[in-house]
């Protein structure tokens, strides 16, 4: 607990007098959170999770995605403070840094930490020029190995959901930095599946090979995966984020008003469609919606 408290104290000193700290309880530990408010009222929360039963840092996907979200918020805060998004060079720099935030979340949180859950310790994390990999010990069970394989994309899906929840809770618009991180997170699986026809070896090819080993050759047609992959594009947050980057300005979260509902008051909804990959050779097609109080 002490190292995390010290880190949060350092963050408060760095962010200045507009920062304050909060602590909340989890089933097995706590969340330590620093909030930074800019002069125009924007919030940039920095969260570090702690689990007393496993390890002080980096024990789960929840912790890993919190770290990625906090890194994104730190970058967004600095960019907002210094106006980086007002220039093309600043926008490009923000976009590249956002890509690496999503990449590290994919490799470290998605692959590395999930492998540890199956007893395969993280051996190395390699980050190159717009590419990366995470090495774990051997996982003999094919299905468990496949869970680790597809979990890189799923970790970024969790990050994208946390970004949306944060924007709605803070009643905040999508900034260019947040937009770039959201696109690289929510669009991670889309890009992987569309690259299946190339010679490049990637997680999706490993997933298909695992399904062939478990359920027989051609049990998971690539053409079928690509056809259903278009479902993930039915996400208004993706297009709003893209517009935020191109226009280099904040964009309102794309919500639809449902009106006043009994017991909820003024309510809004964000509809989206998802393709969910599974380690049991099923492509789940899911219609999701985020319903919340008080439209922004």
* Among the listed residues 10, 160, 161, 19, the one whose alpha carbon sits nearest the alpha carbon of residue 77: 19
C-alpha distance from residue 237 to each of 2, 72, 154, 245 (Å): 38, 17, 17, 12
Q: What is the mean pLDDT of residues 249-260?
A: 88
**So what's the pLDDT on residue 9?**
47
- Spatial distance between the Cα atoms of 247 and 250, rounded to a whole number of angstroms: 8
Q: Please list, in sequence order, all residues whose beta carbon lies within 8 angstroms of the beta carbon of residue 277, skipping any fewer than 6 positions away.
A: 150, 153, 154, 189, 207, 283, 284
**CA max distance for the chain:** 61
Report the percentage of the chain scoring pLDDT > 70: 81
> 202: which DSSP letter?
-
Strand partners, 265: 261
- Quick one: 142 exposed, middle or buried, by C-beta within 10 A (0-12, 13-18, 19+)? middle
pLDDT grade for 38, boundaries at 50, 70 and 90:
low
- Spatial distance between the Cα atoms of 51 and 28, rounded to a whole number of angstroms: 5
238, pLDDT greater than 80: yes
The pTM of the full predicted model, rounded to 2 decimals, is 0.86
pLDDT grade for 39, boundaries at 50, 70 and 90:
low
235, pLDDT greater than 70: yes
64, pLDDT greater than 80: yes
Mean pLDDT value across the chain: 82
55, pLDDT greater than 70: no
**So what's the pLDDT on residue 32?**
52
69, pLDDT greater than 80: yes
**So what's the pLDDT on residue 151?**
94
Q: Please list, in sequence order, all residues whose beta carbon lies within 8 angstroms of the beta carbon of residue 97, skipping any fewer than 6 positions away.
A: 75, 177
- Quick one: 238 exposed, middle or buried, by C-beta within 10 A (0-12, 13-18, 19+)? buried
């Amino acid at each position: 607990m002490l190292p995390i408290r010290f880190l949060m104290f350092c963050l408060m000193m760095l962010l200045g007098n507009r920062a304050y700290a909060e602590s909340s309880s989890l089933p097995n530990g706590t969340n330590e959170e620093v909030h930074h408010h800019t002069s125009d009222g924007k919030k940039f929360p920095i969260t570090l999770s702690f689990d007393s039963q496993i390890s002080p840092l980096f024990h789960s996907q929840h912790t890993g995605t919190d770290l990625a979200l906090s890194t994104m918020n730190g970058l967004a805060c600095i960019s907002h403070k210094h106006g980086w998004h007002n220039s093309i060079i600043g926008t490009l720099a923000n976009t590249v840094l956002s890509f690496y935030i999503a990449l590290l979340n994919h490799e470290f949180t998605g692959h590395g930490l999930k492998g540890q859950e199956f007893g395969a310790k993280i051996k190395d994390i390699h980050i190159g020029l717009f590419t990366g990999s995470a090495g774990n010990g051997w996982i003999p069970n094919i299905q468990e190995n496949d869970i680790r394989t597809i979990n890189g994309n799923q970790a970024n899906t969790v990050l994208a959901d946390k970004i949306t929840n944060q924007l709605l809770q803070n009643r905040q618009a999508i900034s260019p930095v947040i937009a770039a991180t959201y696109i690289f997170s929510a669009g991670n699986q889309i890009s992987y599946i569309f690259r299946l026809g190339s010679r490049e070896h990637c997680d999706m090819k490993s997933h298909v090979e695992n399904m062939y080993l478990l359920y027989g050759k051609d049990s998971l047609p690539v053409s079928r995966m690509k056809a259903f992959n278009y479902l993930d594009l039915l996400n208004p947050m993706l297009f709003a984020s893209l517009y935020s980057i191109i226009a280099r300005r904040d964009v309102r979260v794309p919500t639809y008003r449902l009106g006043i509902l009994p017991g909820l008051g003024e309510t809004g909804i964000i509809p989206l469609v998802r393709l969910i990959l599974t380690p049991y050779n099923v492509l789940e097609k899911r219609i999701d919606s985020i319903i919340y109080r008080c439209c922004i």
